[in-house]
Amino acid sequence: MSGESCHIIVFANEKGGTGKSTTAVHTGVALAAQGHKVAMLDLDPRQRTVTRYLENREETARRRGIDLPTPEFEVFTSTDDGALDAQYRALAERNEFLIIDTPGRDDAFAKYMAARAHTLVTPMNDSFVDFDLIGQVDAESFKVKRLSFYSELIFDARKARAKSDGITIDWVVLRNRLQHLEARNMRRVGEALNELSKRVGFRVIPGLSERVIFRELFPSGLTLLDKGQLGNLGFSHLAARQELREMVAGLALPSVEQAEAEAEMEQSAA
């Protein structure tokens, strides 16, 4: 496999706690479960959320004596671009997908990898506090007033990339922790995002709803896709699994089956 054919997905948002690691790890496991060769590179050596999640997953597989589809994973701990370059290229060389999780702060290595992504995913909580990092809205009308520094940074990175190697980075803003009970806020954030998406050129996709299960699965490293390992799933967990599938489908990755037929069958059986 040549590094060139590996599809690189970077999860980045300078704001902390927006769901980068959670959505990254679920995407990685979903692709591995579909039989793809996937690697994850953790650029957050302090928190190591992705690494710890996948270590917990391997431990669960050992403890229960089962096979769990799991991406290959590594942490980046060095302090120079050259080492990062060598590490990500080696992973890209032997995998179809490379998923990179980045820390929630201004970080030179996150920018380095964002500029090399095929798909750049920016998860955000459905709140104007998170929105502020990509654009600022008017206090009365909620109309977008100006782009933020971060949007301009990504905008420039995309322009530079298109010029240097003709690749358009697919920038996807993923709405995480959606709360359907807060319909008015959800609509306002949605309208502001749609307006901004036309100006900056990102796509908006729905992510995961706010659900306790996404916090509870961490110690076992399991995901909602691990059928048969989670006990009897209630309706809300089946709905969450469907959301997860739609989130991965929304990323529109090359050669990824949509898994819709399977999901429909499951729904009609439920």
Ligand X SMILES: Nc1ncnc2c1ncn2[C@@H]1O[C@H](COP(=O)(O)OP(=O)(O)OP(=O)(O)O)[C@@H](O)[C@H]1O
| Shortest distance (Å) from residue 63 CB to Mg ion | 25
The H or E element that residue 234 is part of is: none
DSSP class of residue 171? Answer: E
| Part in contact with Mg ion (CB under 5 A); list of ranges 15-23, 174-182, 198-206, 237-245 | 15-23
Chain position carrying tokens 């080696």:
90
Q: Which structure tokens are listed for 255?
A: 């050669």
The answer to whether residues 5 and 255 touch, using CB atoms and an 8 Å cutoff, is no
Write the binding mask 180 to 219 for ligand X: x where contact by CB under 6 A, - elsewhere.
----------------------------x-xx--xx----
Q: For ligand X, give the closer residue by CB, 139 or 183.
A: 183
User: C-alpha distances in angstroms, 205 versus 10, 86, 154, 208, 247?
Assistant: 15, 32, 18, 10, 7
| Shortest distance (Å) from residue 214 CB to ligand X | 4
| Shortest distance (Å) from residue 127 CB to Mg ion | 17
Q: Which structure tokens are listed for 95?
A: 């995998």
Select from 6, 7, 9, 21 the one that contacts Mg ion (CB under 5 A). Answer: 21
Select from 27, 49, 70, 122 the one that contacts Mg ion (CB under 5 A). Answer: 49
| Shortest distance (Å) from residue 143 CB to ligand X | 27
Q: Is 20 in the site for ligand X (CB under 6 A)?
A: yes
Q: Which structure tokens are listed for 42?
A: 């953790």
The answer to whether residues 19 and 218 touch, using CB atoms and an 8 Å cutoff, is no
Q: Is 53 in the site for ligand X (CB under 6 A)?
A: no
